[in-house]
Structure formats: C-alpha cells, structure tokens
Structure 1
C-alpha cells in the first residue's frame, strides 16, 4: 500500500472500477435467456464486449461518427439476440438498457462515502449522460460530480476526456488523482499530467512492470486509507 500526497481532487473511472460491468451484463443476458447454460452466456457476453470495444475504437479512429454508449449497447444487444435466436422485442429492449443496471462492487459505496468526507470526488465515465445518471442511482454511488465522456463526444483514452475532469477539478493536473482498474485508462490520464492509482478488480487490466503509477492497491479501502492518512 502506498501513501499518495498533495492531491486536491479524486477522479474515478466507473465501469469496471466501481461497478461490475461484466457481471451486470452477464446477469442481464441470463435474464433475457434463462434457458442458456453458462458457456453460452459467456459467449454472448464476449460478443457484447467485443462490439463495444470495436465501435469505441472506430469512433476514436474517426471511422464512425460519435454515438453514446446506449446506441452501441442497443447494437450489442441485437447482436446477442440474433446469435441466441431471441425475438421478443420487449426482452431485447430491456437487454439494451443493461448498462443502466450494473451492480456496485461491495466496497464502492462505502469507499466513496468515506473518501468524499475528505476530497471532492468526481466520476469520469465513457457511459453516456443518461446511462451514467441511471447507473449512478441504481448502484447507489455518491459523487460531488459525475462527468460523461459524451460531453466531449469522445471515448477514453482520448485526451479530451481526461481534460474534462481536469477542467472540472479546477486545479493543476498534478493535484488530480485518477483511479481506475484499467492500466490503459491510467496511462492516458498520466499522459495528461494527472496522478494515478490502480485498484485491482476482477476482469480489470493490471499494470505491467513498466507502469509507474503513484499507487497500486488490492482494494478500494486500501486506497481510501492511503489518501486520508494524515
């Protein structure tokens, strides 16, 4: 556990870091297709995740005009439905909004509450505005401000997304801490001058030996203790 000093504002990635995105999507697919076995659900989840990743990359590369996450999720849900033979329009429509109902990790709500007593806390997410609003309410997350990448019509790791958080923080980037379970996310934040902290989560993107983040933590409680120890 590392102690991180001289921080004024803490910024959190949301999807995967504070909420269990794979688990929530898997549950939504199971609800839509209750007769499916685990192997089939895993295959359908992979289809969803691959579509999201590919489309966000295409947007970042300029090969597709920006659309928010709920558009991409609706496309992913239709791909899943087509593969599974699901034809019920209501079931497909509900599946398309699964990103609004992702569960928080067990320590997320208490950790945010504890940290927010000491620092301004921001959420910074690729989730579209409406999806982020509904997700925040569903998961019980409490912020001082939640920022959607939709505001800059881009997806992380585009630099303008991190600049959105820096501008909202109102202080130099070296006093803004970006927290994520994804090393790629932290590398991009680091390139904008932000401080960085990795928190381990199942299914995250762990750092490599060459990553020089300000802190690496096995749990959110460890990070909060490091930040609030005075």
Structure 2
C-alpha cells in the first residue's frame, strides 16, 4: 500500500473495534440480573455503564486519583449503575461475575479471521485501556491471536495520553511511524497520529446499537478507511 510500506506493527483498540461490548454486556446483565427477577432495558443498562467509562478514566488521567486498573473502575461504575436501575440486592459474587462481562465479550464476525491474516505479515498487539488480565481472558475465550497484550496498564497511562501510544511503540521496538493504529474511534486515531502513528479507521456501525450516528471518516485524514478487518488485510496485502 503506497505510503504504508514502513509499517511493521499494527496496534489495535479493542472495545468496539475488535469486540462487540454492547451486546456482550447486555447479554450477561440479562442472564445475571434476570435470574434475580429483574426485567430491564438491557441495552440501556450497557449504554449507561459504558457512559461512565471516559469520566472514570479522566479522573486517573488528570491525576485526581492514582493509577487504577480498568476492572476496578468498571466495578465502581457498575455499583452506580445498579443503584440507578434499582438492582440493589446482588451478592458480592454476582457483582464480580457481572463485572467480568467485559472479559467475555464476543469478537465482531470478521475479527478472528482478519487478525489471523494480518498476523502472518505484521506484529499485531493490543493498544487498549483494558487491563492485561481482562485482555488475556478475552483473547483466550474469543480466539484473538495477539502477539502482545499492551496498552494503558503497561504504560500506566490511559489513552489518549501520548505515553500509552509511545510506550507501545517502544516495547515493540518500533518507531511510531512504523506502527499503524487500528480503531473504530476517531479520537483514538487522532491522538495516535499526533504521536507519529499511521492510522486505519474501521467502521463498526452497530457498536452503540441501531441508533448509532457516526463521524464522517473523510474529515479526519486517516491513512486507511475500511469496513472490517478483512478489508484491512486486503488493503495491506495480508
């Protein structure tokens, strides 16, 4: 691909880009809370939990609180969401089980095949805000063939702080321009590009459900804009 010949490693956002977080969280909430007799809008439950994600990360990024792994931030947010939805009587074991829904997310249909093709030609690694144990559990369950599990916990910096991107490149022994950041979120790609990464936008039109609205990819100047990982592999000759 013209202009991308120096790329040696692909760094992937995970939530929403590789896996379908909304359906997985809604599914597990329905199973665990439904067993308690609750009948909620499970998509709305997942959306509300996810809506607390960036605010909780920002308190760490800003220095308001010390480094805290995502599993623990998710649990704090979950307790708030359970209170808001009137689910107040869960046991500690049930809360822990529901919090681990993020470890059990399903990949998008193209993800495993596409990653397998890309792995044959490139180093493929996570560059996620997820903690390492979460990402490893997810990969084992879903068959995600990562060469390395990197990102925020390893760098002690949540995206979009530059340290998260630059540490990933350094640990892969790559210059930033030798790394292609792959994500379904423009803000992630813009931050990676500001660190010298090349960027590939993958369109995930149902990440946030059927009412999702998207930015226009052309407005952000990404190196590649693709529909899925199979098209990405085609574009990169993998």
- Give TM-score, length-normalised by structure 2: 0.88
* Corresponding position: 1:197 with 2:196: no
What stretches of structure 2 of length at least 5 have no aligned partner? 209-213
State the SS of the aligned residue for 1:146. Answer: strand
Q: Residues 114-125 of structure 1 correspond to what in structure 2 (within 5 A)? A: 114-125=117-128
CA contact 1:3–1:215 (8 Å) conserved in 2: no
> Could you tell me which residue of structure 1 aligns to residue 143 of structure 2?
140
Shift of 1:66: 1.8
Residues 112-170 of structure 1: CA distance to partner in whole angstroms, max 9, x if unpaired?
11111111111111001111111111121001111031122221111000012211232
Between Structure 1 and Structure 2, how many residues are aligned? 227
Change (3 A) 1:208 1:220: closer
CA contact 1:4–1:215 (8 Å) conserved in 2: no
* Corresponding position: 1:157 with 2:154: no
> Could you tell me which residue of structure 2 aligns to residue 13 of structure 1?
13
Change (3 A) 1:162 1:207: farther
> Could you tell me which residue of structure 2 aligns to residue 72 of structure 1?
73
> Could you tell me which residue of structure 1 aligns to residue 185 of structure 2?
182
- C-alpha separation in 2, matches of 1:43 and 1:20: 15
- C-alpha separation in 2, matches of 1:197 and 1:64: 32
Shift of 1:104: 0.7
- C-alpha separation in 2, matches of 1:223 and 1:33: 38
State the SS of the aligned residue for 1:57. Answer: helix
Shift of 1:36: 4.7
CA contact 1:181–1:199 (8 Å) conserved in 2: yes
Residues 89-128 of structure 1: CA distance to partner in whole angstroms, max 9, x if unpaired?
1322211111111111111111111111111111111001
State the SS of the aligned residue for 2:219. Answer: coil
- C-alpha separation in 2, matches of 1:115 and 1:9: 10
> Could you tell me which residue of structure 1 aligns to residue 107 of structure 2?
104
> Could you tell me which residue of structure 2 aligns to residue 216 of structure 1?
225
What stretches of structure 1 of length at least 5 have no aligned partner? none
Runs (4 or more) in structure 1 with deviation over 6 Å come to none
- The Cα RMSD (Å) is 1.9
Shift of 1:84: 2.7
Change (3 A) 1:3 1:31: farther
Shift of 1:196: 0.3
